[in-house]
A = this chain, B = another copy of it.
């Protein structure tokens, strides 16, 4: 079979789609014939040799495809259409997938649509619910609304919780997409101070939950944007990691819960439980199109270098996919 490796740690030019051995299955793993996979930031770190998340030399962490071998697992049959996270190896014709992370693809979705779901939706679901404890009708501030996780979070917060969704993005084009997905308040962070807009839109009360991909450069403004008893989940530091002079009494006065998280390094058991909970709560909503994967562009797997360059240009809205079959 063929799979994508980085010949040397480096730029997109190092990516090559080459002949590789088929994966050897461990107990509890299914063999998946891959139809589509997706590009993630972690794939770029992996290509550059900066992330050792997977021992697998083949890049990629999510796929949609068909079960080719059940390996004794009784919950799936050969031919089942499944999607899910894998421990590396996704940019390939075949991949091993832990069976407890496989989700049946809702009937109405194509493989490309399905491959756009696992990473961003599981991250958004985990952040909103397992960590952020979002409750019905609460107010949530979702930064980077046009990103993969942002577009998933907007939809989940609206469809599962009827939340009031405030979102930020850097272009009006991205904000229009957020609006179509259901966001209630659109803030262009280049033309407005987002904390003032949040205050206006919440009757000066602030947001019950903040999804923070930005970190240091937004610290003060996020503090001003959060409500008393608010939850603040930190899932990225695109705006820097180091905050100067943090006043702990401020966190006490507003009784804030600040949670840092990363999904990829979590245990297999955690990912399996998250997958199960997510699948139960969203499968029907994907099937009836209430929830939709947001796709930016589909590249053939042979054009993987182009796909990586496209992500690194930061112009995508939603997911960048690779079609394998």
**Chain B minimum-CB-distance residue to A243:** B246
In the complex, which residues of chain B have a beta carbon less than 8 angstroms from the beta carbon of A216?
Answer: 248
Binding stretch for chain B, among A157-165, A181-189, A251-259: A251-259
| A245 touches B (CB below 8 Å) | yes
Is B260 a contact partner of A259 (Cβ separation < 8 A)?
Answer: no
B261-A252 in contact (CB<8A): yes
Q: How many copies does the complex hold?
A: 2
A272 lies within 8 A of chain B by Cβ: no
**Residues of chain B with a CB closer than 8 A to A254's CB:** 260
Q: How far is the CB of A320 from chain B (nearest CB, A)?
A: 24
A260 proximity list for chain B (CB < 8 A): 248, 250-257
Q: Which of A234, A248, A256, A262 has the most CB of B within 10 A?
A: A248
Q: For residue A262, which residues in chain B have a CB less than 8 angstroms away from its CB?
A: 252-253, 255
The bracket for how many chain A residues form the interface is 20 to 34
In the complex, which residues of chain B have a beta carbon less than 8 angstroms from the beta carbon of A74?
none
Bound CA span A243–B219, Å: 14
Task: Tell whether A314 is near chain B: CB-to-CB under 8 Å.
Answer: no
Partner of A237, one of B131, B234, B249: B249
Complex A-B: 12 CB contacts under 8 Å: A131-B257, A215-B249, A216-B248, A235-B252, A237-B252, A241-B247, A241-B250, A242-B245, A244-B244, A254-B260, A256-B259, A257-B259
Other A-B contacts than A243-B246, A251-B260, A257-B260, 15 sampled, CB-CB below 8 A, are: A131-B257, A215-B248, A215-B249, A235-B252, A237-B248, A241-B247, A242-B246, A244-B244, A244-B245, A250-B260, A252-B261, A253-B260, A255-B259, A255-B260, A257-B259
